[in-house]
Amino acid sequence: MSSSEILRRLPATLLRRLLPQITLAGGPHETIAVRAPYTGLPIGTIPAGTVADLELAVQRARAAQTPWSKRTFADRARIFLRFHDLLLERQDEVLDLIQWETGKARRHAFEEILDTAIVTRYYARRAQKLLRPRRRKGALPLLTLTRELKSPVGVVGLIVPWNYPLNLAVTDAVPALMAGNAAVLKPDVQTSFTALWAVDLLRQAGLPPDVFSVVTGEGPLLGPALGERVDFMMFTGSTRTGRLVARQAAERLIGCSLELGGKNPMIVLAGADLDAAVYGAIQGCFASAGQVCVSIERIYVHQSIAERFLASLAERTRALKVGASLDYSMEMGSLTAERQLQRVEEHVRDALQKGAVLLAGGRRRPDLGPLFYEPTILASVTEQMQVYAEETFGPVVSVYPFSSEAEAVERANDTRYGLSASIWTRDAAHGARLAQEIRAGNVNVNEAYAAAWGSVDAPSGGRKESGMRARHGAEGILKFTETQTVAVQRLMPVGTPRWMDAAVHARWMTRLLKLLRQW
């Protein structure tokens, strides 16, 4: 599809409809141009938000949060279930928008539709049960009635990256909002239109405007300003920036949740289904051109099958359909930003100069578009190479043979990251046992990353430098709440009654504690 054909599908009326969703404090604003990775041509412009804009958004959110928190769970859920239905009905519009802003293939953009719908439905249906008051054992049996309550933290700040602009703009906001919070979203400048589309659809579904607001602009200015004003920070992005968010949250004594980088391993055991493992590697390494936090960047394959595995993987990788198309015909799209392409080129160039072997790819493809790079496989990678331990975040994977499972586990764990991992074996029970030895928050057996990520009733988070506190599951909504214990005492106090001698009370309490030893 040509550049003109791609941009012809971009309706200017859509972008004009989305811009009013941005909170602006008034006065003139500079603008930021957004360019399509497929073509390098401009999509449109967004306002360069200021601290004043952010201050206004947080003030409005605070005013809207209390009445929103007083709504019933059923009332809130109806809004998000309407959003769920509207998203599925209007998916083609946002699929185009995701592709214009990220350059990813449509099949990978559709993953955002799937996950956003699944997570939205989950919290709309489950939030009330997850946050219901719970009876706890009291200080004295029968005499102390104790309940644990959950209340919203207040205003949640969300900073989301460019690689999954729909999914990450919505799937953390939904549990925060279902818990009774308000939220302020700062999307990446490259993908703000997709985030605005999601917020616009939520408002069409019935969400009050000030409960979830958006400020667009540069992260170094707006990120710290957001962290200074909200009651909880949710950040997805680089480990370097995540440390800054965590430091600011610690200084203010507010909570934060971080999903950060990864150098995710895949282990292919000797008895694995070779065809399935190769297909899984393709999906895990090159989805969204490798620009996925859970993307596989290291493959460890047993030496008895390494030659056959590598030959099949290289052949399948070279045959991938790479290009720009607003349909499902392409298997991999473009990188999103020039800086990301430069990082990919630097890692591959450094590896080849130091002796790595190129098995597939390894070239920029300007004939396809300004930011295309071939899916790439490297062998004979050593510790001296940047690609060995640094996150590439592109369509590049390094492959290593191993001789024993103990070696594979040790090498898989030899990283400062711990986000996701993948194990391939015909013995699923053995794979599940081996998974417990991998120091990562998500481990998939006979799947690249989607099984753990898509199991939204279970938490998904990183260990080590891959983050702190999980999204999804109970933890994905409980983190946006504060806990309160309410204890009602009946008949007599826990301490010494006014009518009883303290020594007598001590003797009776000692006997009671002995009786209650097994309680």
Residues with catalytic function: 259, 293
Phi-psi region of 459 (alpha: psi -120 to 50; beta: other; left: phi over 0): beta
Dist CA 184 CA 76 (whole Å) = 18
Dist CA 46 CA 504 (whole Å) = 74
Percent of residues in the chain assigned helix, strand, coil, to nearest 5: 45, 20, 35
**Long-range residue pairs from 115-118, CB within 8 A, at least 24 positions apart, any chain:** 115/167, 115/171, 115/453, 115/454, 115/456, 116/87, 116/166, 116/167, 116/170, 116/171, 116/198, 117/84, 117/87, 117/88, 118/454, 118/456
Tokens (6 digits) for 132? 């219901």
Helix (H, G, I), strand (E, B) or coil at 451: helix
CA angle at 63 for the pair 234 and 256, rounded to the nearest 5° = 15
Task: Output DSSP code: residue 112.
Answer: H
Terminus-to-terminus CA distance in the chain, angstroms? 71
Which residue in 11, 36, 173, 171 sits closest to 98, CA to CA?
36
Task: Output DSSP code: residue 189.
Answer: G
Task: Tell me if 337 sits within 8 A of 302, measured CB to CB.
Answer: no
Phi, psi of 432 (to 5 degrees): -65, -35
Helix (H, G, I), strand (E, B) or coil at 52: helix
Count CB neighbours of 171 within 10 A: 25
Task: Tell me if 477 sits within 8 A of 175, measured CB to CB.
Answer: yes
Task: Output DSSP code: residue 172.
Answer: T
What are the distances in angstroms from CA 158 to CA 174, 230, 236, 255, 315?
Answer: 11, 10, 8, 12, 41
Strands 264-268 and 481-489 come out as: unpaired
Name, in order, each residue with C-beta under 8 angstroms of 256's C-beta and a sequence gap of 6 or more: 232, 233, 234, 235, 245, 246, 249, 468, 469
